[in-house]
Amino acid sequence: VSLRISALARGIVQGVGFRPFVYRIALAHRLVGWVRNGSNGVRIEVQGDPAAVEAFLNDLRHQLPPQAAIESLDVADAPLGSDTTFRIVDSAVEDTVQPAIPADLAICADCLFEINSPIERRYHYPFTNCTQCGPRFTIIEGLPYDRPRTAMQAFPLCDACMAQYGDPLDRRFHAQPIACPACGPQLSLLAADGHVLATTAAALQEAAEAILAGQILALKGLGGFQLLVDATNDAAVARLRQRKHREAKPFAVMFPSLDSVQAHAKASGAELAALTSDEAPIVLLARREAPGGDRVPLALSVAPQNPHLGAMLPYTPLHVLLMSRIGRPVVCTSGNLSEAPMVIDTPEALATLGHVADVFLVHDRPVVRPVDDSIAVVRPDGLALLRRARGFAPKPLRLPAPQPTTLALGAHLKSTMALSLHDQVVVSQHLGDLHSVEGATLLDRTVADWLRFFAAQPEQVACDLHPDYASTRLAETLAARWQVPLIRVQHHHAHVSAAIAEFGLAGPVLGLVWDGTGYGTDGTIWGGEALVCEGADFERVAHLLPFPLPGGERAVREPRRSALGALYAGWGHAGTAAAADWFTEAELKTLTSMLDQGVQTPTTSSIGRLFDAVAALTGLHLKAGFEGQPAMALEFAADGIPTNGGYELPLGDGLPAIADWRPLLKAIQADRRAGVPVGVISARFHGALADLAVAIARRFGSRHVVLSGGCFQNRRLVSLAAERLSLAGFQAHVPRLFPPNDGGIALGQVFVAGRRHAGEPPDQRLNT
Ligand SMILES: [Zn+2]
Ligand SMILES: [Zn+2]
Ligand SMILES: [Zn+2]
């Protein structure tokens, strides 16, 4: 007796060696039939002895290749066929596209061995890959995932590669990006004016020598251009900062080896595991004051006044080969200007980075879409992403229920977009800030890219409540063009909802959302919010006592303005006397009169701005090189200092309850006068915020409390608040798979739009 079954496997089943695996286990159990990629998943039909079919299904579920994950496996009996062998058959394009695009994977141990082995034909070949590693998302142009629908279509396979591609027992069996020196992409080294200086191995060697000579290299990597410079050469790093217009924001560093990482930073087992994982993100590590052994220290300008270090290891064969020739740590940062999107093609790179980089190491494999390096931290609860891109995007997240196809366009900074498809949502890779034309264009392009990719037609569009975000304007245009509903989601509501989606929370959830800026339903700037969220609905139950920001947006760059606004709100003209040292007499006069008249002084309840005010009051930062720098300085000042007590930060009785920072600022001023060290002040300030979180949870929370918003990237604040909430009987949830900063907003918007459609009451019980 023979049995035939037909199975549909969905999940991460393409681009991970899944079909070869199916082939091998079918052979092992002496079954006939076929396996085929479809845009809807992988379809398998096998036939043979019923016990063998059973054993096959068991292996299918439990012996998966490391990168594969089966989300669902539908198995049904099928009529017997006449197959005499087991085959891998051509892919079929089906109607509904499932969101299962593989992410890019760091080079595997087998390929690493091969490129270092002189007897192999891929010895020193920078585009080596296999079914277990290599480019995926950055080369895929359409589904199903097959070579003709990738950037590799321009590289016909040589006979030797074709033999490997077709051999079920080879680890490159059906590896779509397969390549070798004879048939694959090649390197060139270009001068800034575009003329070719060298090719292939010589290009690599000369690029390494340029770095060692202190030059800036633009490298066409996996997901776009990167800028590389010797991290031990202060003048070279300073030149990169100056040319890239990046004053103070820390640079990430690529290390030639794990040994080298450990010489410069302290990494726990979990942090080492993250560095060497298939996703290979940048991991924020604690820096050693002096490097171990006889290592040359990193240049001060790599990460000024920062006890952390963003570290990564080479993750493509190209990076491996380049780093082994350089042999020392290298600054490795996105190839862009300021916060504009990463440049992906060579002519564009020569045009925009021509005055930044001295030489360009490029290749002829197109980058289909920009994918930046991901950034992660290891917290006690596991790896948490601060920037979600390479290795993680576009892995889908399952929603609690199917919902109409929803396109969400996210926020304005650290932008991402999201698309729901049935009961799953795919969130784009980090797209960068939307200030620039390039940023807004990339968002536009990404929308078109994804809709084509997934053959999706949105039934609703979601965006932020902020009227002036480029993402909001695009959403308005698209909703009008498609004649579908536009759902505007309040910024902090979206933050909490993203975490509700990630952790699958149900029922009313208290969310504490502390960040820099978000448009409130009353038109003021929110950012120190406590929202009780349920379905599509939220209630603002508590917030920080609002204060004015003289000059509005400029306060982000000048913490002294936040401090002045708070002092003025707290104590009027008497309060502003303390600000006399921070401004010239004329400046102070202008700002005070703005405050008196209420012109250009938007009101905010932002904890991000309270951090700024405290940083100014403690003398750490009167001006900031980038948003978040003052808060980081405060966090770092408290390193190694235990939090004993916290300042008083009382929560009023009303609804919403107001958290009054006036006693806190008074106490900080008194401590300053008494000569209390800044680190101790900072520890007490963090303590006050953690106590506030507990006070709000006690009054308005049930079991689950979400902590989100940019302020919760602060590790001291996160661990302190989570620990105190837990002692008080609450369970804190801090986003991990999606960033707590505005990179998570698009996901929250999709979730809220889905709940609103599900018939949840649309009217928000607002207390503003
Ligand atoms: Zn490999
Ligand atoms: Zn070849
Ligand atoms: Zn935000």
CA 630 to CA 615: how far, in whole Å? Answer: 6
Burial class (CB in 10 A: 0-12, 13-18, 19+), 534: middle
Report strand pairing: 460-464 vs 486-489. parallel
Query: 747: CA distance to ligand 1 center in Å?
Result: 32
For the chain, the straight-line distance linking the first and the last C-alpha, in angstroms and rounded, comes to 72
Quote the tokens at residue 497. Answer: 């909802």
Query: 178: CA distance to ligand 1 center in Å?
Result: 10
Which pLDDT value is given to residue 759? 57
Q: What number of CA atoms fall less than 13 Å from residue 26's CA on the CB side?
A: 26
CA 203 to CA 210: how far, in whole Å? Answer: 10
What are the pLDDT digits (tens) for 241-278?
999 988 889 999 999 999 999 999 999 999 999 999 99
Residue 526 and residue 464 in contact, taking contact as beta carbons nearer than 8 Å:
no
Query: 159: CA distance to ligand 2 center in Å?
Result: 7
Residue 307 and residue 402 in contact, taking contact as beta carbons nearer than 8 Å:
no
CA 218 to CA 360: how far, in whole Å? Answer: 5
Q: In the structure, what pLDDT confidence band is assigned to residue 169 with cuts at 50, 70 and 90?
A: confident
Q: What is the pLDDT averaged over residues 639-659?
A: 94
- Convert 119-139 to b/e letters by CB count within 10 Å (16 or more is b): eeebebbbbbbbbbbbbbbbb
CA 188 to CA 163: how far, in whole Å? Answer: 28
What are the pLDDT digits (tens) for 332-358?
999 988 778 899 999 999 999 999 999
Angle of CA points 514, 525, 622, to nearest 5°: 75
What are the pLDDT digits (tens) for 603-633?
999 999 999 999 999 999 999 988 889 999 9
Nearest to 63, CA basis, from 113, 38, 26: 26
What are the pLDDT digits (tens) for 483-525?
999 999 999 999 999 999 999 999 899 999 999 999 999 999 9
Residue 763 and residue 733 in contact, taking contact as beta carbons nearer than 8 Å:
no
Res. 765: pLDDT tops 80: no
Query: 527: CA distance to ligand 3 center in Å?
Result: 7
Of 11-15, 290-294, 367-371, highest mean pLDDT? 367-371
Ligand sitting nearest the alpha carbon of 161: 2
Number of neighbours of residue 328 by Cβ within 10 angstroms: 17
Q: What is the DSSP code (8-state) at residue 307? A: S
Please report the DSSP string for 716-759 in residue order: HHHHHHHHHHHHTT-EEE--SSS-SSGGGHHHHHHHHHHHHHTT
What are the pLDDT digits (tens) for 728-764?
999 999 999 999 999 999 999 999 999 987 655 444 4
**Single pTM value for the model:** 0.91
Query: 135: CA distance to ligand 2 center in Å?
Result: 16
Res. 91: pLDDT tops 90: no
Which pLDDT value is given to residue 643? 87
Which pLDDT value is given to residue 762? 44
Higher pLDDT, 720 or 758: 720
Least confident of 111-115, 284-288, 551-555, 719-723: 551-555
The reply to whether omega before 148 is within 30° of 0 (cis) is no
Q: Which amino acid is at 96?
A: T
Q: What number of CA atoms fall less than 13 Å from residue 722's CA on the CB side?
A: 18
What are the pLDDT digits (tens) for 399-423?
988 999 999 999 999 999 999 998 8
Which pLDDT value is given to residue 559? 96
Ligand sitting nearest the alpha carbon of 121: 2
Ligand sitting nearest the alpha carbon of 490: 3
What are the pLDDT digits (tens) for 308-340?
999 999 999 999 999 999 999 999 999 988 778
CA 193 to CA 360: how far, in whole Å? Answer: 10
CA 180 to CA 157: how far, in whole Å? Answer: 9
Ligand sitting nearest the alpha carbon of 710: 3
Ligand sitting nearest the alpha carbon of 128: 1
Nearest to 86, CA basis, from 41, 131, 24: 24
Query: 278: CA distance to ligand 2 center in Å?
Result: 24
CA 511 to CA 708: how far, in whole Å? Answer: 7
Q: Which amino acid is at 334?
A: S
Within the chain, how many helices (H) and strands (E) appear?
Answer: 22, 31
Query: 181: CA distance to ligand 2 center in Å?
Result: 6
The enclosing H or E element of 668 equals helix 662-673
Query: 169: CA distance to ligand 1 center in Å?
Result: 15
Number of neighbours of residue 200 by Cβ within 10 angstroms: 15
Query: 334: CA distance to ligand 1 center in Å?
Result: 25
Which pLDDT value is given to residue 48? 95
Ligand sitting nearest the alpha carbon of 179: 2
Ligand sitting nearest the alpha carbon of 122: 2
Query: 131: CA distance to ligand 1 center in Å?
Result: 6
Ligand sitting nearest the alpha carbon of 114: 1
The enclosing H or E element of 540 equals strand 537-544
Which pLDDT value is given to residue 763? 40
Least confident of 270-274, 291-295, 568-572, 741-745: 291-295
CA 222 to CA 299: how far, in whole Å? Answer: 26
Q: Which residues pair with 4 in a beta bridge?
A: 47
What are the pLDDT digits (tens) for 435-463?
888 999 999 999 999 999 888 999 999 99
Residue with tokens 């930044």: 356
Which pLDDT value is given to residue 761? 46
Q: What are phi and psi of 735, to 5 degrees?
A: -50, 140
Report strand pairing: 187-191 vs 486-489. unpaired
Quote the tokens at residue 88. Answer: 């891998």
Which pLDDT value is given to residue 96? 52
Q: What is the DSSP code (8-state) at residue 552? A: T
The length of the chain, given as a count of residues: 768
Ligand sitting nearest the alpha carbon of 517: 3
Res. 767: pLDDT tops 60: no
Query: 701: CA distance to ligand 2 center in Å?
Result: 61
The reply to whether omega before 739 is within 30° of 0 (cis) is no
Nearest to 225, CA basis, from 115, 325, 138: 138
Query: 440: CA distance to ligand 3 center in Å?
Result: 18
Query: 343: CA distance to ligand 1 center in Å?
Result: 26
Report helix angle 559-576 to 585-597, nearest 10. Answer: 80
The enclosing H or E element of 113 equals helix 109-115
Query: 441: CA distance to ligand 3 center in Å?
Result: 22
Query: 125: CA distance to ligand 2 center in Å?
Result: 11
Report helix angle 662-673 to 607-617, nearest 10. Answer: 20
CA 417 to CA 394: how far, in whole Å? Answer: 11
Res. 578: pLDDT tops 60: yes
Which pLDDT value is given to residue 626? 87
Report helix angle 559-576 to 607-617, nearest 10. Answer: 70
Which pLDDT value is given to residue 94? 57
Res. 638: pLDDT tops 60: yes
Query: 641: CA distance to ligand 2 center in Å?
Result: 58
CA 704 to CA 701: how far, in whole Å? Answer: 7
Q: What are phi and psi of 713, to 5 degrees?
A: -80, -15
CA 146 to CA 176: how far, in whole Å? Answer: 6
What are the pLDDT digits (tens) for 187-227?
999 999 999 999 999 999 999 999 999 999 999 999 999 99
Ligand sitting nearest the alpha carbon of 113: 1
Quote the tokens at residue 703. Answer: 């079991």
Ligand sitting nearest the alpha carbon of 410: 3
Query: 109: CA distance to ligand 1 center in Å?
Result: 7
Nearest to 760, CA basis, from 483, 458, 401: 401
What are the pLDDT digits (tens) for 172-183?
988 999 999 999
Query: 209: CA distance to ligand 1 center in Å?
Result: 28
Ligand sitting nearest the alpha carbon of 65: 1
What are the pLDDT digits (tens) for 476-489?
999 999 999 999 99
Quote the tokens at residue 617. Answer: 């009051």
- Distance from CA of residue 148 to its chain's centroid? 29
CA 337 to CA 246: how far, in whole Å? Answer: 8
Ligand sitting nearest the alpha carbon of 155: 2
CA 698 to CA 398: how far, in whole Å? Answer: 31
Region of 11 on the Ramachandran plot (φ > 0 left; ψ -120 to 50 alpha; else beta): left
Distances (CA, A) of 222 to 138, 146, 187, 319, 426: 7, 18, 13, 9, 21
Ligand sitting nearest the alpha carbon of 178: 2
Q: In the structure, what pLDDT confidence band is assigned to residue 99 with cuts at 50, 70 and 90?
A: low
Which pLDDT value is given to residue 88? 86
Query: 679: CA distance to ligand 1 center in Å?
Result: 47
Higher pLDDT, 605 or 1: 605
Q: What is the pLDDT averaged over residues 559-566?
A: 97
Residue 739 and residue 427 in contact, taking contact as beta carbons nearer than 8 Å:
no
Which pLDDT value is given to residue 768? 31
Nearest to 255, CA basis, from 313, 301, 214, 317: 313
Query: 171: CA distance to ligand 1 center in Å?
Result: 8
Query: 15: CA distance to ligand 1 center in Å?
Result: 12
Number of neighbours of residue 7 by Cβ within 10 angstroms: 23
Q: In the structure, what pLDDT confidence band is assigned to residue 67 with cuts at 50, 70 and 90?
A: confident
Ligand sitting nearest the alpha carbon of 182: 2
**Ligand 2 ion: nearby residues, β-carbon < 5 Å:** 158, 161, 180, 182-183
Query: 495: CA distance to ligand 3 center in Å?
Result: 7
Mean pLDDT score of the chain, rounded to an integer?
A: 93
